[in-house]
């Protein structure tokens, strides 16, 4: 059975009502048969697109404090050492995962631990793969800490289509690896900032599965 994320419930209901109305109105007011069918198929395809975007498949996470798992589904588009200016203010290993509109957009905690930082920043809506998206787009920055991995920062970044980031992480909260950490509506990206020297299990261009695939380990 297909599960949907709670952030999509309202949009799904509205889309379903509008789709039914549109199909009935096309049947009533359009006299050309092929045009009626074309309009109805287009409406159904749009509804299916919305449904698949908000799907929330169950993922069986193998809990392990020695690993950092993919927080989202998508494609690895950046692996590099960078200066992280917001929280660490020093060099970190950045791994960025880009999500297209057809990916599952649930954000999951990359590791278990304590939430030590959680901040929302309004900003622009540059395309998610733009080099400046990490510092100029609408975004949230969250830092998790445990005894094995130390502190790991992840950043939810809105893309050109995304207009709302949902973040459930609260400072002082103990969270569990693989559980629901939020949602980004439409195309977007998540950056991970890991300690230098962390062993990576992915390379550029890899497609990863959120809540399951190991990104890094120690």
Catalytic residue numbers, as ranges: 188
Contact criterion met (CB below 8 Å) for 198 and 93: yes
Q: What is the SS3 assignment for 21? A: helix
- The torsion defined by the Cα of 120, 124, 128 and 131, in degrees rounded to 10, comes to -100
DSSP secondary structure, 179-199, as one string: SEEEEE-SSEEEEEEE-TTPE
Residue in 214, 161, 156 with CA at minimum distance from that of residue 189: 156
The three-point CA angle 11-14-17 to 5° equals: 145
Residue in 115, 181, 130, 128 with CA at minimum distance from that of residue 157: 128
């Amino acid at each position: 059975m297909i599960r949907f994320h709670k952030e999509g419930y309202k949009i799904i209901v509205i889309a379903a009502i509008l789709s039914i109305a549109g199909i009935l109105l096309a049947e009533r007011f359009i006299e050309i048969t092929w045009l009626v069918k074309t309009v109805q198929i287009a409406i159904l395809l749009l509804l299916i697109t919305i449904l698949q975007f908000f799907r929330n498949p169950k993922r069986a996470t193998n809990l392990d404090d020695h690993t950092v798992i993919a927080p989202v589904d998508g494609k690895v588009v950046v692996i590099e050492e960078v200066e992280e200016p917001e929280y660490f203010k020093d060099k970190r290993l950045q791994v960025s995962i880009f999500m297209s509109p057809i990916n599952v957009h649930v954000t999951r905690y990359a590791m278990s631990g304590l939430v030590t930082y959680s901040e929302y920043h309004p900003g622009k809506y540059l395309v998610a793969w733009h080099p400046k998206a990490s510092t100029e787009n609408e975004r949230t920055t969250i830092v998790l800490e445990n005894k094995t991995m130390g502190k790991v920062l992840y950043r939810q970044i809105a893309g050109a289509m995304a207009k709302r980031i949902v973040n459930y992480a609260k400072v002082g909260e103990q969270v569990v690896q693989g559980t629901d950490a939020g949602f980004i509506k439409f195309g977007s990206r998540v950056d991970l900032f890991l300690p230098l020297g962390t062993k990576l299990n992915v390379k550029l261009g890899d497609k990863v599965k959120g809540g399951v695939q190991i990104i890094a380990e120690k």
